[in-house]
Chain A
Amino acid sequence: MKTRTTIFKMLALLIGTAAVFSSCKPKGPADVAMGDAASKVYVAPGKYDEFYNIVSGGFNGQIAVYGIPSGRLFKILPVFSVFPESGYGYSEETKPMLNTSHGFVPWDDLHHIALSTTKGEHDGRWIFANGNNTPRVARVSFKSFRTEEILEIPNSGGNHSSPFITENTEYLVAGTRFSIPMDNKDVPISSYKENFKGSISFVKIDPVNGHMNIAFQLRTPGFNYDLSRAGKGPSHGWFFFSCYNTEQAYTLLEVNASQKDKDFIMAVNWKKAEEYIAQGKGKTEKVRYAHNTYDDKTHSATSKMENEVLVLDVSEFPDIVYFIPCAKSPHGCDVDPTGEYIVGSGKLAAMMPVFSFTKIQNAIANKDYEGDFNGIPVIKYEAALHGEVKKPGLGPLHTEFDEKGNAYTSMFVSSEIVKWNVKTLEILDRVPTYYSIGHLSVPGGPTAKPHGKYVIAYNKITKDRYLPTGPELSQSAQLYDISGDKMRLLLDFPTVGEPHYAEAIPASMITPTSTKIYKIEENEHQYAAKGEAQAKVERKGNEIHVYMTAIRSHLTPDNIEGVRLGDEVFFHVTNLEQDWDVPHGFAIKGAANAEILIMPGETQTLKWKPLTTGVVPFYCTDFCSALHQEMSGYIRISPAGSNTPLKFSTGKIEGQP
């Protein structure tokens, strides 16, 4: 009897202990979203989202367009990567877009987004993006959501601190991630300190048509340039870059570039550099880089090889560049909406320094320097410092701002967003992210006039957030409400590629001018057939040019004969439709490239080389009408040297008039 009581007591104790322990376990993510979160992200069928979220695709080389607050994906917009779905990089018209000094490079690593601004505020004209691998920058039209221009960056070892822009989109910068020996010099890797240089390109943007041209390059000390932001308001005229590996390591950077307590933020007086260039102080260097532009009248891209760039070596011009010591390996280097504060996010540091533009100016005026680096003045840390955000979290990466004077910083290691006051540096709130947030985005967050309302986390690790899909998972973004004092998680949404940076802009700034069709009468394509009467087939040597039209629901011509083995066939397809959302597609059996999608009023060309004789079908690939399946045709391939006459028709039945 006694033994039994003891056993009961022990059991009770065991259960009690287990209960206590389990109640102490941290709460899982399931409990995090608040009660009415669903209604805050619900966009009823047929209704529009409030914001466009323009999200970089990272290693997919594309940009993705999402709606906020719903998180719905609207478009994948190819920039630096071929896209068989639309024929981008496959059609004859778009191939030149991906031309570089290395030839046709069909892929890149698209990291950052910059939306054009006027007076520091969003103006809804262009999206800029950088290609990190084979250094390039791109401009995308906000009207057509298409890539209109790609400019290669010479003297760069990887275009990472890019494509950040000045207040009125005067310049876009392209700073090299890896320093390299200039002029493709063959030198030992160990001669880094001696031979390796940094290179920062200032790309001038034409205010009317957005065309990009490299105005000048700054030759800077050899280390890694990570991110950057332009000044605005009082600091307009300046640019700030985060630098790491000031140790100038060339191997095992993970250890050797993490030795110093402080790296640098590089402050660039670009107005000063502009003056020197105007005075003819720039040196012309021979280089080779491609400049590719797309014209929406000819519906074609052209690639031009440029061979010169103007260079200012900053060591020869001491008043262009200043270094400010910044805690360990800074990533983000973000300027607040007033333009006064510059936040350095040392990703290996336990605090975050916030610098004051006024103090930086005073320090320069008083020559308050602690020394120099390769002849460039290093401003005293305390002289430039507004203050430090103490114990913000682990691994601060990137900061954006709301319209109320608050900052939001992503913490990669401690996997959270931290909200703090820019002036008082006081931490106000923190929320976990799932998992390991990289960049974050507040609508208008990098501009002089943030739209606020939300912060979106772009997480680097997805793990268990969605149904498992094998070893490779989609990326995980999260939407938080920041309208109140406390941040609140509203929504998880999957993203394609690997988003690095993103911006969000009110839909009302974009939708009214969105392109619906291209006017057929404005089509200046060399091979356009602007009506079925203009459809024809021409032979030029062994090239066959088919001037084809597409309209619901037939292709003209749809019977083609007289093509011989050894010929190359160019299908120039013009979509005659003039109604919104009626693209036609074109594909032919055995084509070694892709399909093409042709928007209303547009002409696109698919090149096809037949490899056998016979009769080959082609068809429309975009379901266009109830008679879409009927929208097809045949091309006959005769043996080489045969005398089958060249002929073409639509609706003609043999033996009938």
Chain B
Amino acid sequence: MIAFNKYYNHFNILSSALIIISLFLLIFKGLNFGIDFKGGTLIELRSNETKINVSSLRDKFSQMNLGDISVKKFGSDNDFLIKFENKDNKKNIISDIKVNLDKSFGNNYDFRRVENVGPKVSAELLKSGVIAISLSLAIMLIYIWVRFEWQFSLGAILALFHDVIVTLGVFSLFGLEINLSIIAAVLTIVGYSMNDTVVIFDRVRENLRKYSDIKIFELTNISINETLSRTIITSATTLLALLAIYFFGGEILKGFSLAMILGVVFGTYSSIYIANTVLVRLRVSQKTVLREDDSK
């Protein structure tokens, strides 16, 4: 049996630090919102000529007065992703750009993807994204409240917050783009982290009923160990699937799968080191679960 409980305090301090750092990053550095949430235009361009590269593209686009521009490679050497503000929401911007590029590059390029999100839509998408995440946290809270005692719900929700905040913190730290698919990833993380926590909690509750003389500090450790191989196997298969998406699923799914990978890692960690320690700190005992059984 591995003595997870020996490190409860250490990891609580670490988690608190991670959350504080993440919040700090989120407040002061902020998130790198993509055009879904910031508005603007995105062009994925494929060239078949070496003259077209990041710097020549940046030159061309800067001349066109499009506001903030970012040009970068996208996956392979001849694929580029160009993003700009398009503040005035000009109508024929794409055909204007094509005319302009044709002059210098001829017909040696191709727009593979064009996305243009107006300011109104981006504000709505951001709002509905925030609502979706808040709603999912609220529903999880209600679900676990109905299923378990309040001490358990608190533990699970703290673990959830930890996973969401730290994942977003990593995105902030590295300036990774937040777009619609990242919101999907965060929601899935919420589901996954909950799933992981619930399985351990289920065992904790079962053991609480079984043993009256074991303290919660020991009992959580027993429960974690009993479910450990399941935790490892499920995390492993999920991670294998996600790694396959990350490495082979194409550029568009990279951010999504990365967020999910981080979420699975944090989710697994938090089920052990946050959710359970809350039970210990709240001195959950056999009485807690038995009282609830009586009242039902």
Q: Do A and B come from one complex?
A: no
Give residues in A with beta carbon < 8 Å to B: none
Give residues in B with beta carbon < 8 Å to A: none
